[in-house]
Amino acid sequence: MKPLATLLLLAFALPAQVPEARIKIDTDRRIGEVHPHLFGNFAEHLGRCIYGGIYEEGSPLADENGYRKDVMDAVRGLGVTILRWPGGNFASGYRWKDGVGPKDQRPVRPDHAWGDLEPNRFGTDEFLQYCERLGVEPYICINAGLGTIDEAREWVEYTNESRRTYWAEQRRKNGRDKPYNVKYWGLGNEIDGPWQLGHKNAEDYAKFALEAAKAMRRVDESIKLIASGSSNFGPGADWIAWNRTVLERLRGEIDYISLHTYIGNRENNVESFLAASADIDQRIEITEGLIRAALAGRRAARPIAIAFDEWNVWYRTMGRSEFETGATRLEEIYNFEDALAMGMFFNSFFRHAHIVKMANLAQLVNVIAPIFTNKEGLFLQPIYFPIAEYGKQKGNVALDALVESPRYKAGPRGELNYLDVSSTWDPKRRELFVNVLNRSATRDILTRIENVEGRLAPAAEIWQMYHDDLKATHTFGDDRRLRPRTWQETLKLERNGFSYRFPKHSLTILKLTVEP
């Protein structure tokens, strides 16, 4: 028989494949705005994030201020909206006054958070001017570890005061007349962690933070404050109790409570690695419940949102030595499966867009980061691409998609859908985004996607990251093999829906249009 005839015979003889998953989208089922600050980032004085990353005085790649121009371009491409600084653990021992004024008179101090030396050549003015250059909102974390309330108050005075006060005058002497008007201030970092300099119990932290908030707001009442939520999920730690106390004591003063989560694939099993969404969802939902409880019955209460202000994959370079010696500098080389994890985090943030109003990838350059430099240049790690792509959905409305999918057993996390999904809607452009992570290590999943309100247009844009090798990485001179593919597709529409096959271990963003 001729090959064509065989094909035709097969096509009629075999039953059409039935989708095994279903995603149903209704643009009326709105969760909340995908806040632009979900695409925040974090730059800590740690390893080569600041020195040798953002900032490299004397480098041919730097401008006259010492900012690496190649890094700035990559940061722009990443779509960073808000930048947290100066730590992290570093913040809890940082004296901001060491980092202002003539550079050659600034002291070199030991950094006891990471066992390094801090030259103080990059300080408040350098950070804030960097943010201005990039059009990024600055977010400063105060020293609530070894620092004082008065230092925090004076820091706000230095950055935001317009009158001729002592610290505003110091700012002017240092070349900056106009206040920077820094709006976002963190009331310390991970103060619940025993590893933190100046670690406190929840009651002591709350007393400190309450008074710091009061003093800082006396300088500028328009600032937004982020309380240090718990990041200690280890055995014996009661993260829920910490968050409850902090929320009850600080309600009325704070605008956010922070959450931090790092994940890793220590078992070398991609399906359980990507099951971490269950923990992320749970931490957000429990904290949301605690926020509701803390605000219940209070009329016109100051709303509190969640700032997920540290998140990423971090495990290969995690260990005691980092805290004590700074030895490995947290220079994770990310692979393809880590890129998939970026989609998992964003899907969770989008599904909780009504309460998660800020998220900061930790960190920006070299240190657990999407951008990796040496003295000659940089390369983009595989995690860079999903971050940049999800960022295009900022300002959209997150939708509550219905998902039916084959499931798998994820150990203590119970059963999970193979398909981890979020969806957003841009009502002005009538664009519908469906973000799908297929966590299966082996199965492509044919899925029916249905739309409820308005007719889908047949033209679709597809963005996809897929690679056979989960462990594939990038390096200097070779950072193209894990880049996403994008293409246009004409959908075969049927009853306002279509079928789409999501490849095993892949991340896909479908951009659809709903006709007016």
| Amino acid found at 182 | V
Distance CA 211, CA 166 (A): 22
Q: Which residue has the closest beta carbon to ligand AHR?
A: 88
Question: Least CB distance from residue 463 to ligand AHR, whole Å?
Answer: 28
Active-site residue flag, 190: yes
Question: Least CB distance from residue 90 to ligand AHR, whole Å?
Answer: 6
CA 32 to chain CA centroid, nearest Å: 18
Question: Least CB distance from residue 362 to ligand AHR, whole Å?
Answer: 4
Distance CA 422, CA 437 (A): 9
Reported in sequence order, the residue ranges of 11-85 that DSSP labels E, i.e. its strands, are 21-25, 30-33, 40-42, 82-85
Residue 249's CB: how many other CB atoms inside 10 A?
A: 19
Task: State which residue, 230 or 451, has the beta carbon closest to ligand AHR.
Answer: 230
Task: State which residue, 92 or 423, has the beta carbon closest to ligand AHR.
Answer: 92
Paired strand residues for 446: 501
Binning the chain into helix, strand and coil, the percentages to the nearest 5 are 30, 30, 40
Task: State which residue, 168 or 369, has the beta carbon closest to ligand AHR.
Answer: 369
Angle formed at CA 38 by CA 36 and CA 44, multiple of 5 degrees: 115
Site residues (vs ligand AHR, CB under 6 A): 44, 87-89, 189-190, 310, 362-363
Question: Least CB distance from residue 87 to ligand AHR, whole Å?
Answer: 5
Length of the chain counted residue by residue: 516
Distance CA 310, CA 431 (A): 30
Over its C-alpha atoms, the chain yields an Rg (Å, rounded) of 24
Task: State which residue, 191 or 510, has the beta carbon closest to ligand AHR.
Answer: 191
Return the SS3 of 137. strand
CA 103 to chain CA centroid, nearest Å: 32
Q: Among 310, 322, 332, 389, which one carries the catalytic annotation?
A: 310
| Helix orientation angle between 277-295 and 239-250, rounded to the nearest 10 degrees | 30
Task: State which residue, 234 or 297, has the beta carbon closest to ligand AHR.
Answer: 234
Task: State which residue, 340 or 362, has the beta carbon closest to ligand AHR.
Answer: 362
Question: Least CB distance from residue 205 to ligand AHR, whole Å?
Answer: 15
Q: Among 56, 118, 137, 190, which one carries the catalytic annotation?
A: 190
Question: Least CB distance from residue 356 to ligand AHR, whole Å?
Answer: 18
Active-site residue flag, 415: no
Q: 421 near 401, Cβ under 8 Å?
A: yes
In the chain, count H helices and then E strands.
12, 25
List the catalytic residues: 190, 310
